[in-house]
Amino acid sequence: MKLFIATHNQHKIREISQILPNFEIVPDDPEGVEENAPDFAGNALIKVRAIAEKHKGEWCMADDSGLEVKALGGAPGVHSARYAGEPCDTPANNALLLKNLEGVKDRAARFTCCCALVDPSGEELVVHGHCPGHIAEKAAGVEGFGYDPLFIPNGYDKSFAELSADEKNAISHRGRALEKVKAIVGDGSAGDGSRVGHAGRAEGKGGSRVLAWLRLFRVVNLPTVPGDVFVGAALWPCFAGCSLCIFSVLLAALAGVFLYMFGLADNDIVGAKTDKGRPIPDGEISLAAARIARFVCLAAAVLVACLAKLPGLWWPAALLLVVSVVLYNRTKWCLAMGVCRGLNLLCGALAANTVFSMDAALLTVPVALAAGVWTLYITAVTWYSKGEEYDPGKKRRVGLLVGGIIYLQLAVLIYLTMRNACAMPLLVAGAVLLVLLRLFRRALPKVSAS
Ligand code: ITT
């Protein structure tokens, strides 16, 4: 099967041919195109579109790739080829990288490869592959190209340039991205491209729109949000001895979910230019559509709270929650994120306060304690998660800490139910959330990964 590749880089062509041996690789230099997009996906699309015009009815692909160094804020990134200036000068690029990292201890980095495809019907698809590692103190090895002599992949004590082509391709960013390409196009045997359906399996344009919205709203994490509200509400029967209006609590949980979705849309709008691999920069969701979604989520939270006739104190807490969300999205202060989730729990406690009584005062200390502990836990996890994109081990551990939130909530709900059986409906609701979370994670692995 023929695959037209938009590149002038002979090293890329060699590696792509090694990784896709059954394809007839046809290089086509997209001469004169300006790679001026802010991210790899944008540049890969610019290059592939330039040649797809010429090869209508065929599969075309472009690879845009580069090195991202944590201590340099992700540089050289999309400027990898011309880090030391025009034209591309590999020794100068490597020398500049070493100079900029002089005296730097944390040398974590990752290679990223983005492959943009245009299928025979003209549909566009985008996939990414990453390879985490670190930058060596000095160059070593003669294989490969570009930054290979300086890059030591995680789990190895040799640079990419000291590995054989097969060893590099098995773990490299390009190898990983091209595995995804194979899942879409087939392995290149005759007729494969027309036989293999790909709707919804790519990350970028042409992938399912629904999937893009599910990714924007990190739908697999959403079930952890009502859990905060349930824990807050369950404190009532245990410490103030009041029965609960379950209906109000459920609606408060729904309002909490909408507020969280408001925050997620706002986060992706704020990071529209910088958060690579998210649906807005990948061009799957327009900025205007995300802005409308942000407004709709906020309006939905207000509407639900009005319908539920939530107590007056819920409103200032919810307003504070919105302020913390907006603050976190713009500053990335870990504490602001912790405060969001602590306030979510507080909102649960306040929403359940439908019967005002003297006993309500009994709740102040347990609620303050629970919200405070929750704030600290989330703050610590957010702080620990920094730099996880350069360290898959850390990413797995953060996944466990975040996934563990729902188990923590359930453990607290079990304890509170043992103290007062009136909290039982909230424990049942918490268990339903756990089932939902597991179902989402199984059905939507692609969304879980983002
Ligand atoms: P085309 O745009 O024509 O494909 P290019 O070399 O300009 O070729 P990019 O804009 O994608 O390609 O820049 C990629 C740069 O990133 C490349 O020049 C290297 O410096 C670096 N790079 C990418 N993949 C690499 C790899 O596997 N090993 C070492 N360096 C790599």
In this predicted model, what pLDDT tens digit does every residue of 195-236 receive, in sequence order? 444 444 445 444 467 878 888 998 888 888 999 999 999 988
Q: Say if residue 180 is in the same domain as residue 239.
A: no
- CATH code, domain with 296: 1.10.357.140
Instruction: Kindly give, in sequence order, each residue whose CB lies less than 8 Å from that of residue 240, ignoring residues fewer than 6 positions away.
Output: 357, 359, 360, 362, 363
Q: What is the dihedral of CA 354, 359, 361, 362, to 10 degrees?
A: -120
Q: Say if residue 225 is in the same domain as residue 138.
A: no
64 is catalytic: yes
Residue 313: its pLDDT value, please? 87
Q: Say if residue 117 is in the same domain as residue 45.
A: yes
Q: Say if residue 98 is in the same domain as residue 132.
A: yes
Give CA–CA dist 263/298, Å, rounded. 9
Is any atom of ligand 1 closer than 6 Å to the C-beta of 40?
no
- The answer to whether position 210 is within a domain reads no
Q: Say if residue 302 is in the same domain as residue 362.
A: yes
Give CA–CA dist 314/320, Å, rounded. 10
- CATH code, domain with 87: 3.90.950.10
- The answer to whether position 363 is within a domain reads yes
Judge whether residue 169 has pLDDT over 60. Answer: yes
Atom of ligand 1 nearest to the CA of 148: 29
- The answer to whether position 34 is within a domain reads yes
Q: How many CB atoms lie within 10 A of CB 165?
A: 14
Please tell me what DSSP assigns to residue 76.
B
- Rounded to two decimals, the pTM is 0.66
Give CA–CA dist 229/253, Å, rounded. 6
End-to-end CA distance of the chain: 31
Give me the long-range contacts of 138-143 (CB less than 8 A, separation at least 24): 138/98, 139/94, 139/98, 143/168
Give CA–CA dist 4/115, Å, rounded. 12
- Which of the four pLDDT bands, split at 50, 70 and 90, describes residue 108? very high
CA-nearest residue, atom 7 of ligand 1: 81
CA-nearest residue, atom 16 of ligand 1: 66
Q: Which of 39, 64, 119, 228 is catalytic?
A: 64
Q: What is the mean pLDDT of residues 171-200?
A: 73
Supply the range of the domain harboring residue 31: 2-194
Q: Say if residue 278 is in the same domain as residue 327.
A: yes
Is any atom of ligand 1 closer than 6 Å to the C-beta of 94?
no
Is any atom of ligand 1 closer than 6 Å to the C-beta of 174?
yes
Q: What is the mean pLDDT of residues 404-412?
A: 91
Pocket probe for ligand 1: among 34, 47, 64, 80, the residue whose CB has the most ligand atoms within 8 Å is 80
Q: Which of 409, 411, 401, 407 is nearest to 378 (CA)?
A: 401
Atom of ligand 1 nearest to the CA of 44: 11
Q: Say if residue 178 is in the same domain as residue 133.
A: yes
- The answer to whether position 142 is within a domain reads yes
Q: Tell which phi-psi region holds residue 64, choosing left (phi > 0), alpha (psi between -120 and 50) or beta.
A: beta
Q: Say if residue 223 is in the same domain as residue 190.
A: no
Question: How many domains, in total, are found in the chain?
Answer: 2
Q: Say if residue 130 is in the same domain as residue 227.
A: no
Q: How many CB atoms lie within 10 A of CB 38?
A: 14
Give CA–CA dist 219/344, Å, rounded. 18
Q: Say if residue 410 is in the same domain as residue 294.
A: yes
